[in-house]
């Protein structure tokens, strides 16, 4: 089984995160992200794969088919950024 990971290059990931972190399937990550986007701007698998390839999200490819998996801590960091961005947009209009 082949494992290609972008994990080693992440500067924000602590050793404790790595020990307690788990991998999420791409579809599970998409579902979680779906809670923070409206239906018109929904994130697709292609976008998530690009984020993984560019290092915006930490993840790895596992197996002969090269299925992508995302580290849960990396996804949580992205979700925090999205929430913060949404909060700023909301406060701007008050």
| Residue 92, CB-side half-sphere exposure with 13 Å CA sphere | 6
Please give the model's pTM, rounded to 2 decimal places. Answer: 0.72
Task: Provide φ and ψ at 73, rounded to 5°.
Answer: -65, -35
Q: Tokens 């976008």 sit at which residue?
A: 47
The residue-averaged pLDDT of 59-80 equals: 93
CA distances to 36, 39, 41, 75, 83 from 89, in Å: 13, 18, 16, 21, 10
The answer to whether 66 and 77 have CB atoms below 8 angstroms apart is no
Q: What share of the chain is helix, strand, coil (3-state, %, to 5)?
A: 55, 15, 30
Number of independent structural domains in the chain: 1
**Cα–Cα distance measured from residue 58 to residue 23, given in angstroms and rounded to the nearest whole number:** 10
Confidence (pLDDT) at 89: 75
Domain hosting 26: range is 3-92
**Cα–Cα distance measured from residue 32 to residue 90, given in angstroms and rounded to the nearest whole number:** 21
| Residue 28, CB-side half-sphere exposure with 13 Å CA sphere | 12
Candidate from 2-6, 17-21, 25-29, 63-67 with smallest mean pLDDT: 2-6
């Amino acid at each position: 089984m082949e494992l290609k990971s972008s994990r080693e290059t992440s500067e924000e990931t602590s050793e404790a995160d790595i020990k307690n972190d788990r991998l999420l399937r791409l579809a599970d990550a998409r579902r979680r992200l779906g809670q923070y986007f409206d239906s018109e701007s929904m994130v697709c698998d292609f976008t998530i794969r690009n984020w993984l390839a560019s290092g915006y999200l930490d993840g790895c490819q596992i197996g002969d088919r090269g299925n992508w998996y995302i580290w849960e801590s990396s996804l949580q960091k992205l979700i925090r950024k999205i929430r913060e961005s949404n909060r700023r947009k909301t406060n701007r209009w008050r």
